[in-house]
Amino acid sequence: MKLFYRSWFMILSLVLCISLLNPNVITYAAKPSTISIYLDGNKINSDVPPYIIPKINVTMVPLSVISKNLGAGVSWLQKTKTVTITQSGITLSMTIGQKFALANGERVNLDATVQAINGRVMVPLRFVSKQMNLNVTWYQSAQTIKLQTQEGLADNSLKGAWVSTVYNLDWPSSKSYGNSTQQQQEYVQMLDELQGMGINTVFVQVRPSADSFYPSNLVPWSRFLQGEQGLAPDYDPLAFMIEETHRRGMEFHAWFNPFRANTGEKTEELASNHVAVTHPEWIVQSGNKMYINPGIPEARQHIIDAIMEVVNNYEVDGVHLDDYFYPSSGAFADDLTYLAYNDSQILNKADWRRDNINRFVEQLGKSIHAAKPQVQFGISPFGVWRNQSMDMTGSDTKASVTAYDNMYADVRTWIRQDWIDYVVPQIYWSLSLPIARYDKLVDWWANEVRGTKVDLYIGHAPYKLGTPEVGWNNAQEIINQLKYNKNYFEVKGDIFFSAKDLRKNPLGLIPLLQAYYKVR
Answer with the residue of higher pLDDT: 136 or 507: 507
- Would you state the pLDDT for residue 25? 34
Number of domains in the chain: 2
In this predicted model, what pLDDT tens digit does every residue of 261-290 receive, in sequence order? 998 878 888 999 999 999 999 999 998 899
Stated pTM of the model:
0.83
Q: Which amino acid type is present at position 308?
A: M
Using CA atoms, how far residue 519 sits from 64, 90, 344, 501, 504, in Å, is 24, 32, 53, 19, 18
- Would you state the pLDDT for residue 153? 65
Q: Where does the pLDDT of residue 498 fall: very low under 50, low under 70, confident under 90, or very high at 90 and above?
A: very high
- Would you state the pLDDT for residue 121? 81
Kindly state whether residues 185 and 258 are assigned to the same domain: yes
Q: Which residues pair with 60 in a beta bridge?
A: 51, 124
Kindly state whether residues 303 and 429 are assigned to the same domain: yes
Kindly state whether residues 87 and 201 are assigned to the same domain: no
- Would you state the pLDDT for residue 319? 98
Is the pLDDT at 143 greater than 50? The verdict is yes
In this predicted model, what pLDDT tens digit does every residue of 363-378 receive, in sequence order? 999 999 999 999 999 9
Kindly state whether residues 129 and 204 are assigned to the same domain: no
Which DSSP string corresponds to 388-432?
TTT-TTSBS---S--HHHHS---HHHHHHTT--SEE--B--S-TT
Kindly state whether residues 183 and 112 are assigned to the same domain: no
Asked if 59 and 124 count as a contact pair (C-beta separation under 8 A), the reply is yes
Lowest pLDDT segment from 44-53, 99-108, 212-221: 44-53
In this predicted model, what pLDDT tens digit does every residue of 69-79 receive, in sequence order? 777 888 888 88
- Show which of 71, 99, 134 is a domain's final residue: 134
Asked if 375 and 311 count as a contact pair (C-beta separation under 8 A), the reply is yes
Residue 44 lies in a domain: no
Q: Name the residue range of residue 88's domain.
A: 49-134
